[in-house]
Structure 1
Amino acid sequence: MRASELVLHPVRLRIAQTFLGGRRLTTAELREELPDVAPATLYRQVGALVDGGMLEVIDERKVRGTFERTYQLREGAASVEADEAREMSDEEHRRAFLTFVAGILADYDRYLAGGDVDLALDLVGYRQVALNLTDDETMAMVTELREVVAARVGLPAAPGRRRRLFTTILMPTGEPPAASSSS
């Protein structure tokens, strides 16, 4: 199964997102984090992620006659590489983006359902800006953002730290590039 088919399933995407940041979880811990997912569905989708090479078993111990496995996300496995993305049809891209956006909406809905919502206090924000950039300027910005995020991705859970989701979407508008003016 291609990575895009594997991860761009609503439940499998949520499972993969739960492991982001180097987290190591058992299925019992995963069930606590995803209580709205039926246990049989959760186990089936974890199995699919393991079979597809996205999750790996990093520990196994015997508990009451059965084995409890601890999983982690394989580095870079929860993304669709450029070569695979090029092979996807427009319809596959639409479905992938819809699954991605639906996941963001579900995350935000869970945040709102948590009660005592204070966007300013919780540092929640969403906005869109338009930037006029060349491809080189865009690549420089993307590289800078990657460096900023990479410096923080591996920070362990600790008192005072709250797990946060940082989501980016970057795309050109349908407008053609501005013509250069000659003076």
Structure 2
Amino acid sequence: MKESKVDVILHPVRMRIIQNLINQQLTSQQLKEMLPDIPQASLYRNIKKLVESEVIHVVDEIPIRGTVEKVYSVHDPNLLTISPDEMNKMSKEEHMGFFIKFIANLMGEYERYLSKEQIDLLADGVSFRQTSLFLTDEELVEFINDLRMVYAKAAQNKPEKGRRKRTVATIMIPEEKNDAGEKENESK
């Protein structure tokens, strides 16, 4: 049975490979150096799966001592998104499964951070918070578009000296519509 695009992307090892290939081109050796906790065989197997699924592409081949080293990159970051049509076709169980994988990936990132010998949450900018916003549908669209622009600007940054990779996650969960609360707000 063929894995869905969502399953391919949300696999914990593959997600980490993808994150390292956004905005840069790397060989499997460079990925191994960036992801030292992933066994080499597992790394190569997951790179192969991402290439076969056309999530990442070979952008160059470098001849080295009788062999060829491949250079990988995310060919089109838009392929990493799931269309609304694909999302609407999923069952509640599939949505919950994907959400659990998403949360597990975040937990893995946070656990790797906490496992370092020296951490400074404040200096490192570590935070997680939850807030409730009261937005009309139009205000929600404006808010999402504003976030997209902020993310798009930061996503253009290339890895370089002085820059650290930082994982940022956003989850929006609407509350059920409350006609009484909406009427209460309208009367004010």
Same fold (TM over 0.5): yes
Tell me the CA shift for residue 93 of structure 1.
Answer: 1.0
Using the alignment, how far apart are the partners of 2:177 and 2:37 within structure 1? 42
What letter matches 2:141 in structure 1?
A: M
What letter matches 2:54 in structure 1?
A: G
Using the alignment, how far apart are the partners of 1:74 and 1:89 within structure 2? 29
3-state DSSP of counterpart to 1:179: helix
Cα RMSD (Å): 1.6
Q: Quick check: which one's helix share is greater?
A: 2
Tell me the CA shift for residue 107 of structure 1.
Answer: 0.5
Mapping of residues 6-45 of structure 1, within 5 Å: 6-20=8-22, 22-45=23-46
Identity %: 36
Query: Which of 94, 97, 107 is equivalent to 1:95?
Result: 97
What letter matches 2:43 in structure 1?
A: L
Using the alignment, how far apart are the partners of 2:70 and 2:60 within structure 1? 6
Q: Which residue of 1 aligns with 2:182?
A: 179
Mapping of residues 74-153 of structure 1, within 5 Å: 74-75=75-76, 76-153=78-155
Tell me the CA shift for residue 175 of structure 1.
Answer: 5.6
Using the alignment, how far apart are the partners of 1:42 and 1:103 within structure 2? 16
Tell me the CA shift for residue 155 of structure 1.
Answer: 1.4
Structure 1 runs not aligned, ≥5 long: none
Structure 2 runs not aligned, ≥5 long: none
Tell me the CA shift for residue 61 of structure 1.
Answer: 0.9
What letter matches 1:179 in structure 2?
A: E
Using the alignment, how far apart are the partners of 2:75 and 2:168 within structure 1? 19
Q: For this pair of structures, how many residues does the alignment match?
A: 182
Deviation readout 1:92-151 (Å, 9 max, x if unpaired): 111111111111111111111122211111111110000111111111001001111111
3-state DSSP of counterpart to 2:183: coil
Using the alignment, how far apart are the partners of 2:166 and 2:20 within structure 1? 11
Using the alignment, how far apart are the partners of 1:151 and 1:59 within structure 2? 27
